[in-house]
Amino acid sequence: MDFLTITLAAAVALVALALLAWWAVRRQRSRASSGRDDRYAPERILTSEQAHMLDYLQDTFPGQVVLPNMQLKHILTVRRAANRQRAAERLKEYRVDFVVCGADGRPSFAFDIEQYHLSDAEAKANKVVMKNRILKTAGVRFVFLKNGIHRMPSPADFRAQLNLAELPKPKSKEELRESALQQLESQFSGFDSQHSSHNNGYRDSEVLGMSGLMDLDDFGQRRRGVSSGRGRTNGHSHFDNSRAHRDSRFDGSSMDVRGG
pLDDT, tens digit (0-9, with 9 covering 90-100), for 44-100 = 989 899 999 999 999 999 999 999 999 999 999 999 999 999 999 999 999 999 999
Separation of alpha carbons 225 and 108, rounded Å: 29
**Which one has a higher pLDDT value, 57 or 230?**
57
- Is the distance from CB of 159 to CB of 60 less than 8 angstroms? yes
Kind plus residue range of the DSSP H or E element containing 27: helix 3-34
- Is the distance from CB of 108 to CB of 141 less than 8 angstroms? yes
Instruction: Convert the pLDDT of each residue in 164-208 to its tens digit.
Output: 988 888 876 666 666 656 666 666 666 665 555 444 444 444 666
* pLDDT above 90 coverage of the chain, percent: 38
pLDDT of residue 250: 33
The pLDDT-based confidence of 156 (bands split at 50, 70, 90) is: very high
**Which one has a higher pLDDT value, 77 or 247?**
77
Strand duo 95-101 + 66-71: pairing: antiparallel
